[in-house]
Chains A and B, each alone.
Chain A
Amino acid sequence: MSENLTASRQWATRLLVSASVVVVLIAPLYLDQFWLQLGFFCFAAAVGTLGLNLLTGIAGLLSLAHGFFLAVGAYAYVFLAGGSEEGISGALVGAGLPSWLAAILAVGVAGFAGLLFSPISGRLRGIYLGVASLALIFIGQHVLHNYESVTGGFYGRDVPTLSLFGFTFAETDPVLMVLGVPFGREERLWYLGAAILLVAYVFARNIVAGRTGRAMQLVRDNEVAASSMGIDVRHYKASAFVLSSIYAGAAGVLIVLALGRAVPDYFGLALSISYLIMVVIGGLGSLPGSVAGAFFVVALPEVLNHYATSLPFLSQPGGDGVSAVQFSEYLYGLLVVAVILFIPRGLAGVFASVRGRAAPRSAPASDGAQLEPQSSERPHLPA
């Protein structure tokens, strides 16, 4: 009986995965710009959320600075790929590197920024680290506004188009028609986003399942025990920051590619908080949950906005009541509260129980366990 169950469960999972792959592949054939762009923002945010979940969910380190590392990746790309040009508020300098190389280096720069934070992240514990990371947001905003020759200041700076071996992620160059549908910027970026998310996901899964991931979880659950087992606590805390910054950097590069312009306003405290919300709603420590959380948080206000005219509980633009944006804010706030109070494993927990996976667990602290390879491949079943 139980083997049967396992087999059919695997079958179901495989089908679900292949169905998603098919959907992702054919979507640009019929979705219009709005949905493709929204999908791309979801992919990009999911990459960033995976990174924050490695840090906060797996390694147990609270960070309010995720938006800062996104900014580092984004601006590093813009600087490295951009040329020296005349901006709105003065001359801008750029390294003028090929854009694909700039994108890779930008992710590295973000990781390096995470490493630079390690003297702080290694020394501070728990909530002190969370508040200290808040400082990065404010310092980051200050630098973005003041270092105008690189960042363009308040107005920001145009984002160079990404091109890979002569193929650009833009409307043309080369002109591309697939089954009679012109494949422009949004269609191309859609595939790029999906591919990066896939790579990011697989990489994160390997980390979590491997030595590094288990060491991080041990450091999270019991620092003393971890260090008595010979785990270098500082080293793993620092690695967690570097890893999550790399993810943030990649997300930052992706997002500014879609935005078309990097502006400091976007990378404020609200961005960091929204990533934290994505992680929590998705489920602390759950990688599939991160993806779900990111999709939920990014898409909700847009979808509500899209259908606002047919949703009676939302006010029309300019009307008195609650707008789609405000409604989403209430919902996020209440969901975060609900997740911590009643559904400690977030969306991931809801999915898992729908799909008949692991039995519910009590506290998010013990959640990491479900990510171990044993539990995801051979789920423990109650007799």
Chain B
Amino acid sequence: MQASFSKSVRIRRSRTFVVALSAFAIAASVTACSTKKDDGPGAESADGVKMGPGVTKSTIDLGVITDLSGPFATVGNALNQGAQIWFDELNTDGGICGREVKLDVRDSGYDLPKSISLYSEMEADVLGFQMILGSPQMAALGPKMEEDDIFVMPGSWASSLLGRKNGLIVGATFDLEMINGISWMMDEGLIKEGDTIGHIYLQGELGENALAGSTYAADQLGLTLVGQEVPPTATDVTSQVTTLKNKGVKAILLSTTPGQTASAAAADDASGLKVPLLGSNPSWAPQLLGTAAGDALKEHYYVAQSYQLFNADVPGAEKVREEYAAKYKDEPIAVIPWSYAAASAYSAILEKACENGDLTREGVLAAYPEITELDTGGIMPPLDFSDPSEPPTRSVLIARPEDNPLGGLKLVREAETSDLAADYPMPQG
């Protein structure tokens, strides 16, 4: 009896549930349609600027889909910090076109379906994406972004992203880092014609793109290149170094995770190989100085990158340092000045669109190639976006580790374009 009583209560409850559902369904069908109709063409504000999605009289909304909780959370956070510093400063100075720029930052955890969901959720409400992190994400969303005419900056330096009318690469690509780096090693006499060099590279975008550069350079300079592919999950690359030692390499290129960089440096030193190491820009993290490989890194490792160091003596980097110290307490990582400069490049393009009186997506795409000599406070060489199939700069600087709390690197050579890098035919994605 007790049982059947409680059951009848449950049934009543379930009936209520059904009724509620039907009521919901009816209500929904009545209110339907109206919410989903097209908004029509962009309006024009009092100041004569044409406005599209994500733009109002007082604000410009930009989307950010990044990784704040997944495997690239540290980079994601740092990119965010650099951009935030730029936009806070910008908004204090009056924003763009008299409008405040708002970043809508979302965390994808680097998950692909999540990123795609986020994109469709945000797309209608933003003018563009200030950052989408992850090359699988960029690859998957590419056709959609083209369809939506939306302007996006990927958090990457891969040549495969070149040639899009709506993708912004800020800096020199991974292949150019390697070509410039190898040219520099030749100039310094660290390697010479006829030598064998090794390249430990990650599966995926960074590795493939960097390998294209090193292969080209080795061909042109009469070097023999031995490649060793590693998965991103590996932390110990001792056996790869052992293999390269067996091939008699005179230098090792590293397009690896920071952990693998440290492992390679330790193995290079410990095995008695002791050849110079040259890394792509994502292969470095200042935390590596605190590991057992710290001394080996200081002795053998160099990094090639197109943006200035955190402790550089240029106005942009000084500004970043000042604001960073005021805002954040983490140890700064190398990529922060880049993300500050990249955000400034994105803003410059919007600024140009405003000047042209067209803050719609089409207006932004049209303004993009009009920027031909952008100054990023000295963080990067002047950037030229006139040809989307060309990187905005081909210059790369060389740095090496030292004990300092501001990025842990010291400059070895200022940014320069080697002859080889200048002649390099860019692969197109």
Contact = CB atoms under 8 A, between A and B. Distances in A.
Interface residues of B, number: 65
A341 interface: no
B11 A8 contact: yes
A229 interface: no
Contacts of B24: 23
Interface in B296-344: none
Interface stretch (A109-117, A253-261, A276-284): A253-261
Residue among A9, A22, A261, A306 with max Cβ neighbours from chain B (10 Å)? A261
B372 interface: no
B413 interface: no
A1 B291 CA distance: 75
Given A88-B160, A261-B140, A37 B117 contact: yes
Interface stretch (B102-110, B173-181, B386-394): B102-110
Contacts of B118: 305
A324 interface: yes
Contact of A317 (B3, B25, B105): B105
A85 interface: no
A356 B123 CA distance: 44
A16 interface: yes
A12 B18 contact: yes
Residue among B8, B140, B429 with max Cβ neighbours from chain A (10 Å)? B140
Contact of B106 (A20, A88, A261, A317): A317
B139 A156 contact: yes
Nearest to A89: B208
Contacts of A8: 11, 15
Contacts, number: 170
A318 B77 contact: yes
Given A30-B35, A356-B7, A260 B144 contact: yes
Interface string A207-238: 00000000000000000000000000000000
Interface stretch (B26-34, B376-384, B404-412): B26-34
A145 interface: yes
B167 to A, nearest CB: 13
B107 A323 contact: yes
A12 B11 contact: yes
Contacts of A318: 68, 77, 80-81, 84, 105
Contacts of A155: 135-136, 139, 160, 205
A89 B160 CA distance: 9
Given A1-B4, A263-B112, A266-B113, A19 B21 contact: yes
A369 B17 CA distance: 27
B25 A22 contact: yes
Given A37-B116, A266-B113, A181 B18 contact: no
A179 to B, nearest CB: 6
B116 A301 contact: no
Residue among B35, B111, B118 with max Cβ neighbours from chain A (10 Å)? B111
A263 B140 contact: yes
A356 B6 CA distance: 8
A15 B8 contact: no
Interface string B124-163: 1000000000011001111110010000000000001000
Given A41-B113, A318-B105, A181 B37 contact: yes
B10 interface: yes
B18 to A, nearest CB: 4
Contact of A325 (B17, B36, B107): B107
A171 B144 CA distance: 11
B57 interface: no
Contacts of B356: none
A32 B124 CA distance: 10
Interface in A16-59: 16, 19-20, 22-23, 26-27, 29-30, 32-34, 37-38, 41
A2 interface: yes
B147 A171 contact: yes
B104 to A, nearest CB: 9
Contacts of B21: 16, 19-20, 23
Contacts of A88: 139, 160, 429
Given A154-B203, A155-B135, A263-B136, A356 B429 contact: no
Nearest to B123: A33
B136 A29 contact: no
A181 B105 CA distance: 30
A326 B69 contact: yes
Contacts of A317: 64, 66, 68, 80, 105-107
Contacts of A326: 69, 109
A126 interface: no
B114 interface: yes
Contact of A301 (B10, B114, B147): B114
A181 B33 contact: yes
A180 B33 contact: yes
A334 interface: no
Given A12-B18, A89-B208, A180-B37, A354 B114 contact: no
Nearest to A20: B21
Interface string A66-104: 000000000000000000000011000000000000000
A140 B115 CA distance: 23
A173 interface: no
B13 interface: yes
B3 A382 contact: yes
B161 to A, nearest CB: 10
Nearest to A181: B36
Given A180-B33, A355-B10, 9 more contacts: A156-B139, A179-B33, A180-B37, A259-B116, A261-B136, A263-B139, A302-B117, A305-B106, A356-B11
26 contacts: A8-B15, A9-B11, A16-B14, A19-B21, A22-B25, A23-B24, A30-B33, A30-B35, A41-B113, A155-B139, A156-B136, A158-B143, A259-B140, A260-B116, A260-B143, A266-B136, A305-B114, A317-B68, A317-B105, A317-B107, A323-B109, A325-B107, A354-B14, A355-B11, A381-B7, A382-B3
Interface of A: 1-2, 5, 8-9, 12, 15-16, 19-20, 22-23, 26-27, 29-30, 32-34, 37-38, 41, 88-89, 145, 154-156, 158, 171, 179-182, 186, 255, 258-261, 263, 265-266, 301-302, 305-306, 317-318, 323-326, 353-356, 381-382
- Which A-B residue pairs are the 9 nearest by beta carbons? A34-B121, A261-B140, A325-B109, A317-B105, A356-B10, A30-B32, A29-B32, A154-B204, A356-B7
